[in-house]
Structure 1
Amino acid sequence: MQDAEAIFAVFSDPGVTQFHDLDTFTSIKEAIAVVERRAKRFEQGDGIRWGIVHKQDKVLIGSCGFQLNPQEDSAEIGYELASTFWRQGIMTEAVRTILQFGFEKMGLRFVLAQVMLDNIASKKLLEKLGFQSQGVLKQCGFFKGQFHDLEQFVLNK
């Protein structure tokens, strides 16, 4: 809960939420709900999320993590970062670290990512980390009141 203010700061930026399944936050209550939802997923063994902390001042600037599929020993990855820290290699470092943890410590066989078609920066990140495009899933995601085509990427162990 102590990170709710920082999470609010990240998700209240329309640039961050542009390609996210969450609307831009307008209330701290929305950040608290995200914290509670992520904590519940962790407690149930359905997901794990790590905060990304700025090294210089130890402020939370984003997060990344897995929605787990234990039956397949797989996970779907998700991430976001405060826009003032984009294009500095921070997300590359964070995602590379959790992928290593997922494969080596959690025993994942593969990791999926689904990306909105216009999210070029996310696609480049995934490709840099070795993910391969599996094609476009038509009208696969429903959020922000409409269906979206999503490109699916996979990284095998």
Structure 2
Amino acid sequence: MSRMIDYGNLMHRAMRGLIRDVLADVQDNGLPGQHHFFITFDTMHPDVEIADWLSDRYPDEMTIVMQHWYDNLDVTDDGFFVTLNFGDTPEPLYIPFDAIRTFVDPSVEFGLTFKTQDEADEPEEPEDIEVEEEPQREADIVSLDSFRK
């Protein structure tokens, strides 16, 4: 079988690189203006590091908000560390970019969604495509001289 270009994984890698670049800028310069992020991630990803009580409470996925208070943001090539406040309890988190399911900045209506591996492996249902053939018409030719004064 011939080799195929895996556009899906290439696109996901590029989108995760965008998230990395945005978070690295926030690490260096803070959140500008009204920007803030809703980040949903897979809590069962093997490289996610969160407190046990958080993984018990969110056994599949969790959404964090980076807006008014966050601390110790440290972006690496593979993920980011951040401390967030959960009911007046600061908790350190590590979220690998591969664990992110959605990244949304509602202040500018920007969002990314990543399919999980299970969703990517499911075969898509073929669509019924209707082809309508219209008879070809001859083009109307209009002289530009008719518009000149």
Assess same fold via TM > 0.5: no
Higher relative contact order (CA 8 A, sep 6+): 2
The structure with more helix, counted as a fraction of residues: 1
The structure with more strand, counted as a fraction of residues: 1
TM, length-normalised to structure 1: 0.26
TM, length-normalised to structure 2: 0.27
Name which one, 1 or 2, has greater alpha-carbon Rg. 2
